[in-house]
Amino acid sequence: MIAESFSYHRPQRLDEAIRLLQEHGDSAKVLAGGHSLIPAMKLKLARPGVLVDLAAIDQLSGIHEADGSLRIGAMTTHGAIAQSRLLAEQCPLLPQAAMHIGDRQVRNWGTVGGSLVHADPTADWPAVMLALDATLEVVGPSGSRDLRADEFFVDMLQTAIAPEEILIAIRVRPTPASVAYVKTEQKASGFALCGVAVVLDSAARTARVGITGVAPVPYRASRTEALLAGQTLTAEAVAKAAEAAADGIDALGDIHASAEYRRHLAEVNTRRALARAIAPADT
């Protein structure tokens, strides 16, 4: 199928991209990889009059250490994250999860920022960003601001970014090796029926658990986290906490999986992710 006609812009600077969004308003869409937007345009589900391609803005790509954090540019590809030695050493959850995304072609072209802003409820990155307690940097006509991961995702396919703002980077703190991402995927698409990201802090005896694919919005499994706080992570404690992974959640149901099955997967994958984070060599 062929998309409807549109004008195409490839700005070299961030301020130029923001100006284009201001100038064209609701008719403009940001292109940040295109794996979601281009198919939607071909199916006439999206009909932007203007595309603003961010690929030529160098400052939006790359992985760096900055002020005690790791900063990942929004236009960094999934593949670059998967292959990053810096992240493998200091934040292994990111490259681990990146390898679950699509196939090699998707990973080498799709971007972390594009995925996050699209806010597909079955995407992998949202669970990871929630578990890492990530900070997302956005820039618009009024300047820059930071959004916490738990306030970034608003509803299905909706984020807290304003129409004239652009996500420029994600910041995460270095994490220990006690992390895991476990996913049950829809086989045809590779999207998550349920993906669970876990970060354990052994010193503080706390856990952060992010879940995607189960509800219209990715979420922190707060009840599970509360049950694990301060506990010795025995198999019994983990199993009990995992049972609460979908507490209070209005689960999705569709042709791929019922709401009941997704809630079951939340429990099973949370238990598996916790076990893997506790003893990665044994799972």
Please give the full DSSP string across 131-164, using - where no structure is assigned.
HTT-EEEEEETTEEEEEEHHHHEEETTEES--TT
**pLDDT value at 281 more than 60:** no
Question: What predicted TM-score, i.e. pTM, was given to this entire model?
Answer: 0.95
**pLDDT value at 231 more than 50:** yes
Give the residue-averaged pLDDT of 139-168: 96
pLDDT in tens, 35-86: 888 888 888 888 999 999 999 999 999 999 988 999 999 999 999 999 999 9
Neighbours of 113 (CB within 10 A): 28
pLDDT tier at 202, thresholds 50, 70, 90: confident
What is the per-residue pLDDT for 283? 47
Instruction: Please give the CATH topology (third level) of the domain spanning 59-172.
Output: 3.30.465
| Cα dihedral 209, 212, 218, 221 sign | negative
Q: Which amino acid is at 258?
A: S
Is the separation of the CB atoms in 237 and 270 below 8 Å? no
Q: Which residue has the higher pLDDT, 105 or 222?
A: 222
Query: Out of 3.30.390.50, 3.30.1180.20, 2.130.10.10, 3.50.50.60, which CATH number does the structure's domain 179-278 have?
Result: 3.30.390.50
Q: What is the largest CA-CA distance in the chain?
A: 60
Give the residue-averaged pLDDT of 14-34: 94
**Ranked by mean pLDDT, which of 38-47, 75-84, 204-213, 229-238 comes out on top?**
75-84
Domain chopping of the chain, boundaries: 7-53, 59-172, 179-278
pLDDT tier at 155, thresholds 50, 70, 90: very high
Give burial (CB, 10 Å; 0-12/13-18/19+) of 112: buried
Integer Cα distance of 176 and 49 in angstroms: 45
Query: Cα Rg for the chain, rounded, in angstroms?
Result: 19
**pLDDT value at 156 more than 70:** yes
What is the per-residue pLDDT for 3? 78
Q: Which amino acid is at 177?
A: A
* Residue 8: C-alpha distances to residues 11, 12, 54, 58, 125 (Å): 10, 13, 11, 18, 28
What is the per-residue pLDDT for 116? 97
Instruction: Please give the CATH topology (third level) of the domain spanning 7-53.
Output: 3.30.43
Integer Cα distance of 21 and 27 in angstroms: 9
pLDDT tier at 176, thresholds 50, 70, 90: confident
What is the per-residue pLDDT for 209? 98
pLDDT in tens, 163-174: 999 999 999 999
pLDDT in tens, 82-133: 999 999 999 999 999 999 998 888 899 999 999 999 999 999 999 999 999 9
Give the residue-averaged pLDDT of 19-25: 95
